[in-house]
Structure 1
């Protein structure tokens, strides 16, 4: 994403809090992160906290996740795509929900490390609203989607993530908790 895209997102959705982290991950995780950069062309993800009128948050589960592990949906913003548009597209792809992006909440600059290898990454967190029943729009990528609570996401789900010992799950647990603190 370009600086112009981020400036437009901030003008429309507010200036996010900014955090800088380092996160140790394993060799398989580093290979996955590096592959997702598409030759260092994509160094970000957008993570959505989609709330329904009851205050519940949309959660996804991928096929390879261990039992008890769920996360907020997200993905990449395509070149030339606005942040809110990319977030809404990812919401539809991962949850089947049509959303209205309401706030640019958080930007986390993280350096993933594995031995002496480092990979910079940025997670952009946005808030969104939606109504309806989430559904597995792409069953090849997403195993299940449901409404949950922030307490669940930062409690038993975070515990399950940390119990895996995997750095990327620990990163997601910390990200979920940072969002809960900001809300």
Structure 2
């Protein structure tokens, strides 16, 4: 399945990380592991120069990040990514590039979880910014890369949560790859 995505959307950069998290964060990761899930698909969805960010109910005020979610058992990768985009943002998307794959080991004391994040760039091709899954998504908004890497980044780092720190690491690398692509574009 991953090989198919690489063939269609390019071979991603691969990072291996270790991230310390709290017992509460470990419980949150464990709760997302239904059906043996140990991955997320993170989407940097653009409309022009702006990208969509989401806020979950567990996030402190001001914390927004790129939408992400997991595949359902047996669900094709691309179909699952598009479903997650629609559920979390209300938008229909076209995936453009497989940017990054992060293999992270979340650690809490003696306990650890191996996790993979698959990061894609995409463009919004339809729909309106209005999350469908309002239980999981509190808000969605458009932002520039400058906002994402400025005041939004500061808000995400402020709580000192390991999982949010991981999201900042993921975002920093994805943004660097996006900016590199933009600077190489004709």
* Alignment TM class, shorter chain as reference: over 0.9
Maintained 8 Å contact 1:9/1:82? no
Q: Deviations over 1:105-150 (max 9, x none)?
A: 1000000011121110000001111145311222222111111112
Displacement of 1:80 after TM fit?
Answer: 2.0
**Paired position in structure 2 for 1:134:** 129
Among 94, 97, 121, which residue is 1:100 paired with? 94
Are 2:17 and 1:7 aligned?
no
Partner residue in 1 for 2:182: none
Moved over 4 A (4+): none
User: Shift of the alpha carbon at 1:164?
Assistant: 0.3
Q: Secondary structure at the match of 1:172?
A: helix
Aligned residue for 1:80?
74
In structure 1, list runs of 5 or more residues that go unmatched: none
1:156 alignment partner, one of 151, 157, 173: 151
* 2:32 corresponds to: 36
1:173 equivalent to 2:150? Answer no
- Equivalent residue for 1:27? 23
TM-score, normalised via structure 1 length? 0.92
Aligned to 1:115: 109
Measured after TM superposition, the shift of residue 64 of structure 1 is 2.1
In the alignment, the residues of structure 2 paired with residue 155 and residue 118 of structure 1 have an alpha-carbon distance, to the nearest angstrom, of: 31
Q: Helix, strand or coil for the counterpart of 1:99?
A: strand
What TM-score, normalized to structure 2?
0.91
Alignment partner of 1:62 is 2:56: yes
| Pairs aligned (count) | 177
